Amino acid sequence: MTSLTARIKAAGGRVNDAPSGGRAPGEPSRIGYLYILPAVIIYGLFVFAPFLHSIYLSLFDWDGVSPMEFVGLKNYGAIWTNPIFRSAFVHSLELVFFYTVLPLAIGLVLVSAIQRTRVRGTAFFRTALFIPYVIAPTVIAVIWRWILAPKGPLNSALDAVGLEAISRPWLGDFTFALPSVGMVGTWVMFGLVLALLLAGVQKIPQERYEAARVDGAGRWMEFRAVTLPGLRYEITVVLVLTVTSALRNFDIIYVMTSGGPGYATVVPSYLVYQQAFKVGAVGAAAAMGAVLVILTIVVNLLVARGGRGAS
CA quadruple 167, 149, 154, 135: dihedral positive or negative? negative
CB of 225 to other proteins, least distance (A): 19
The one among 23, 74, 168, 224 contacting other proteins by CB under 8 A:
23
For 237, other C-beta atoms within 10 Å of its C-beta total: 18
Candidate list 74, 126, 168, 208; residue touching other proteins; CB under 8 A: 126
> How would DSSP label each residue in 176-238?
THHHHHHHHHHHHHHHHHHHHHHHHHTTS-HHHHHHHHHTT--HHHHIIIIIHHHTHHHHHHH
User: How many helices and strands in the chain, by DSSP H and E?
Assistant: 17, 2
> Residue 38 CB, nearest distance to other proteins (Å)?
5
Contacts with other proteins in 66-105 (CB under 8 A)?
none
Minimum CB–partner distance for residue 250 and other proteins (Å): 5
DSSP character string of 126-190: HHHHHHHHHS-HHHHHHHHHHHTSTTSHHHHHHHHTT-TTT---GGG-TTTHHHHHHHHHHHHHH
Please state the closest distance from residue 120 (CB atom) to other proteins, in A.
9
**Smallest distance, Å, CB 101 to other proteins?**
18
Contact 202, 126 (CB under 8 A): no
Out of 183, 248, 280, 308, name the contact with other proteins by CB under 8 A: 248
Stretch 137-156: interaction string toward other proteins, x if CB under 8 A: xxx--xxxxxx-x-xxx--x
Give the Cα separation of 110 and 37 in Å (integer). Answer: 47
d(CA 259, CA 248): 14
- Decide if 91 contacts 174 (C-beta within 8 A): no
Instruction: Determine if 172 is a binding residue for other proteins (CB under 8 A).
Output: no
Q: Among residue numbers 187 through 206, which ones bind other proteins (CB under 8 A)?
A: 187, 190-192, 194-196, 199
- Told to check if 115 binds other proteins by CB under 8 A, we report yes
Q: Which is nearer to other proteins, 77 or 258 (CB)?
A: 258
First to last CA, the chain: 22
Q: Report the candidate in 266, 288, 269 with the shortest Cα–Cα distance to residue 58.
A: 288
Answer whether 104's CB lies under 8 Å from 197's CB: no
Q: Is the Cβ of residue 113 or residue 221 nearer to other proteins in the bound state?
A: 113
Q: How far is the CB of 148 from other proteins (least distance, A)?
A: 10
Q: Is 269 in the site for other proteins (CB under 8 A)?
A: yes
Report in angstroms how near the CB of residue 276 gets to other proteins at its nearest. 5
Span interacting with other proteins, options 79-87, 91-99, 123-131, 205-213, rule CB under 8 A: 123-131
CB of 264 or CB of 272, closer to other proteins: 272
The residue within the footprint of other proteins, chosen from 3, 9, 32, 206 (CB under 8 A), is 32
Residues in contact with other proteins, shown as a per-residue x/- string from 218 to 237 under the rule CB under 8 A: ---------------xx-xx
Sign of CA dihedral 94, 243, 296, 278: negative
Of residues 71 and 288, the one with the C-beta less far from other proteins: 288
CB of 77 to other proteins, least distance (A): 19
Size of interface with other proteins, in residues (CB under 8 A): 116
25 binding other proteins? (CB under 8 A): yes
